[in-house]
Amino acid sequence: MIIERSLKKIRKFSKILIILLILIYIKIDLVAMDNSIEFARLPANIPYLHYGDIQWIDYDNDGDLDIITSGQDSNQVKMTKLFINNGNTNFSESEIKFTDLYLSTISVIDFNQDGYMDFIISGSTAKNEYKTILYKNTVSGFEECTQILFDNVKEAVFAWGDYDNDNDLDLFISGEIEYDRREKITKVYKNLGNSMFSEINFIFPNSNISKISTADWVDINGDNKLDLIITRFSRPLTIYINKGNDKFTKHPITDYNCSYGDVEVFDFDLDNDLDIVLNGEVTWGKYVTKLLLNEGNLMFQESNNELLKCSQGSTLALDFDNDNDLDLLICGRTGVRLPATLIYETKLYENKNCELIELDLELPNTNLSRLGDFDNDGDMDILMGNITDKGREILILINLLKE
């Protein structure tokens, strides 16, 4: 009898031990699967310029990311600079000379598909001369493509995409071209190959009176042709449907008239169509950010997700935590603290079962963010400005997911 009771106790203890081991195993497995989003801040020791832009670029094709920036410094000196990544998180200023611009926009692209990253830049010189310059990477330096004559603009919007399906990258460009009249242009340039472009014969409505806030090439209707999505000053979000043969049809998406905004197009709900995040300023001091869900047939429904309301910023969709859905980073201007201090904020939202959950992260307050794998570990890091009461700086946020 005593032996039988002892055996029962042993069997009971064994069951408890097995359960504990299973729980420990599950816990360990859950920890291994916990792809929490976390970043480490790294000062880039690169000047944060006003009224300009900053972009990643692997100029020397050595597998790490260099940085190109333009704008004006606190002494109102205009500049365009390339900073070479020397490894060990150190950058040094390149001796390559560029046209110094502010009110500038930079777009990095391998436009001639030779394996080396080129870039296009536009802006104003210190003498208020507007410039649009395409720089070709020649390995030994950058060469200005003087044979390509784009409109000279400031505060430009660039968008690259193969809209005509001929396997090279075409260019959408808009901006302000006349200093005294403030005339605007909106154009598409077809890539002809051999470093040549030709303006297509299509006139965008209101292209000379309304400033473009942002633009992107996306196949919104799934017909394997890139359409053009545009946000425009005091105009509704609009998609120009690519009909082929350099023709587009206008299709307004929403009644929101967002100025100085941004748009990001991505498959938020994993239903194999493209949804839209739109933000900007609808009236002075009133900002919106809306997630518009694609219901097919170019119809969109506003979601209930509450997001950071801002303008003049960046919106980036990326799977930061490698869980096979796209998270969302939003940064931009959220208000004005009198008398004249602009307020900037940054929020990161984790996508959990088609609900965007704001993460409690201390992120830089900025209106500028760029994605790139700075540490070559297979996940995306972020190049960001940081605006504080003590001044401005450029930071690199290292994604610690795979550290």
DSSP category for residue 271: S
What integer pLDDT is reported at residue 209 of this predicted model?
Answer: 65
96, 113, 172 from 294: Cα distances, Å: 46, 33, 24
Which long-range CB contacts under 8 A does 86-92 form with residues at least 24 apart? 89/42, 89/396, 90/45, 91/44, 91/45, 91/46, 91/66, 91/67
Specify the pTM.
0.88
Residue at token pair 């090279």: 168
d(CA 251, CA 247): 13
70: helix, strand or coil: strand
What integer pLDDT is reported at residue 302 of this predicted model?
Answer: 93
Q: Mean pLDDT for each consecutive 10-residue tract of the chain (403 residues)? A: 45 40 32 63 91 95 95 95 90 96 97 95 96 93 91 95 97 88 88 92 78 91 95 85 96 82 93 94 88 93 94 93 93 83 92 93 92 92 88 91 65
User: Can you say how many angstroms the Cα of residue 19 is from the centroid of all Cα atoms in its chain?
Assistant: 48
What integer pLDDT is reported at residue 265 of this predicted model?
Answer: 96
What integer pLDDT is reported at residue 57 of this predicted model?
Answer: 97
What integer pLDDT is reported at residue 252 of this predicted model?
Answer: 87
d(CA 384, CA 396): 6
Question: Measured at the alpha carbon of residue 315, what is the angle toward residues 84 and 75, in degrees to the nearest 5?
Answer: 50
What integer pLDDT is reported at residue 403 of this predicted model?
Answer: 52
Closest CA to 160 of 223, 245, 231, 217: 217
